[in-house]
């Protein structure tokens, strides 16, 4: 899907959304709100899949219709992921409740929590997950992050984000300073404290 492929999307919070889906073993049909219609196939062997769509489609069709459509096609849950700031909407939550949907927000600043919400949704029929984050495409970059090779133990946890700026450099993970936007999303994944702004 787009955040891992488009250079303009480096630093997109939906890298966390996609990481959560991959790690929970969920294949995806559909696309984020910025790429409606895209289809991601993380691995053909995955036995469970989720229907992904944008906010506009949720507004047009309603949670009940989306859930019914996804469920009849065998999807475990519906994920609504889009490129706007996450504003809590009571009206949307009431509409979900009327449609009998369980809904949960993905906090994209909490990669472990997002993964946990996706795993829970697999076991709870009728779940709509909401993942909203402002688009970073075209926004100003911060100072690039870097890996301190004397601390990095090559655990690979940061690489699970699939950020295009991060790679396995052999001796340690590496950040490409020409690609990194300084978003900082990788740093909480490093339990060793090897990743930081300009360290290394």
The two counts, helices (H) then strands (E), for the chain are 5, 9
CA distance between the termini of the chain: 31
Residues between 108 and 147 with contacts to ligand SF4, criterion CB under 6 A: 145, 147
| Contact pick of 8, 184, 188, 196 for ligand SF4 (by CB under 6 A) | 184
Confirm or reject binding of residue 20 to ligand SF4 (CB under 6 A). no
d(CA 99, CA 101) in angstroms, rounded, equals 5
12 in contact with ligand SF4 (CB under 6 A): no
For residue 99 the two structure tokens come to 């449609």
80 binds ligand SF4 (CB under 6 A): no
Does 185 help bind ligand SF4 (rule: CB under 6 A)?
A: yes
153 is an interface residue for ligand SF4 by CB under 6 A: yes
* Closer residue to ligand SF4 (CB): 129 or 189: 189
Q: Which helix (H) or strand (E) holds 71?
A: helix 63-72
Please give the Cα distance from 98 to 28 (Å, whole number).
26
Note whether 81 binds ligand SF4 by CB under 6 A. Answer: no
Token output for 101: 């949907």
Please report how close the Cβ of residue 200 comes to ligand SF4 at its closest, in angstroms. 9
Is there a contact between 21 and 28 (Cβ–Cβ < 8 Å)? yes
- Residues in the site for ligand SF4, rule: CB under 6 A? 10-11, 145, 147, 152-158, 161, 163, 165-166, 172-173, 175, 180-186, 189-190, 192, 194-195
């Amino acid at each position: 899907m787009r955040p891992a492929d488009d250079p303009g999307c480096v630093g997109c919070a939906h890298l966390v959304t996609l990481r959560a889906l991959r790690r929970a073993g969920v294949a995806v049909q559909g696309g984020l709100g910025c790429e409606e219609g895209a289809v991601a196939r993380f691995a053909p062997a995955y036995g469970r899949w989720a229907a992904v769509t944008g906010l506009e489609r949720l507004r047009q069709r309603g949670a009940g219709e989306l859930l019914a459509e996804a469920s009849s096609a065998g999807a475990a849950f519906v994920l609504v992921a889009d490129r706007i700031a996450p504003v809590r909407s009571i009206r949307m939550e009431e509409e979900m409740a009327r449609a009998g949907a369980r809904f949960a927000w993905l906090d994209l600043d909490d990669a472990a929590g997002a993964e946990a919400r996706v795993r829970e949704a697999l076991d709870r029929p009728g779940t709509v997950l909401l993942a909203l984050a402002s688009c970073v495409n075209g926004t100003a970059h911060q100072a690039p992050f870097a890996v301190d090779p004397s601390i990095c133990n090559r655990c690979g946890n940061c690489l699970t984000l699939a950020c295009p700026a991060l790679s396995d450099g052999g001796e340690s993970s590496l950040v490409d300073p020409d690609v990194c936007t300084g978003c900082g999303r990788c740093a909480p994944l490093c339990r060793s404290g090897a990743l930081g702004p300009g360290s290394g």
